[in-house]
């Protein structure tokens, strides 16, 4: 069954979440004052995999320059009356 799920995120530079291996990351938005990530799962699946999620702030370094990791943009979230901007990425090898 196709479903959309949500996980809460922490406001920190890098974290790992466990989600179904074929999940497609959709967006990160604020809900009840906390960042959450929504993802689409095309069919029932109990096989989980770790996914690395990075968060960067406008004008600040993102990740390690010496790393070969790739950053795929998921979403940009503006909070606190437009004064705090977070950019969320999936990090892959």
Query: Of 44, 1, 54, which Cα lies nearest the Cα of 21?
Result: 44
Number of domains, the chain: 1
pTM above 0.75, yes or no: yes
The pLDDT of residue 39: 98
Which DSSP helix (H) or strand (E) runs through 24?
Answer: strand 24-31
Q: Which domain holds residue 68?
A: 3-92
Token pair listed for 91:
């990090």
CA–CA distance, 24 with 42 (Å, rounded to integer): 8
Q: What is the pLDDT along the chain (93 residues), one digit of tens a residue?
A: 899 999 999 999 999 999 999 999 999 999 999 999 999 999 887 899 999 999 999 999 988 877 889 999 999 999 978 888 999 999 998
For 62, 81, 87, the CA distances from 59, given in Å and listed in that order, are 9, 18, 11
């Amino acid at each position: 069954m196709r479903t959309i799920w949500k996980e809460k995120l922490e406001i920190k530079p890098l974290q790992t979440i466990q989600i179904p291996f074929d999940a497609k990351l959709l967006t990160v938005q604020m809900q009840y004052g906390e960042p959450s990530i929504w993802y689409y799962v095309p069919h029932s699946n109990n096989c989980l995999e770790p996914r690395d999620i990075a968060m960067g702030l406008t004008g600040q370094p993102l990740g390690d320059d010496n790393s070969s990791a790739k950053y795929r943009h998921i979403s940009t979230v503006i909070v606190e009356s437009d004064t705090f901007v977070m950019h969320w990425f999936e990090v892959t090898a």
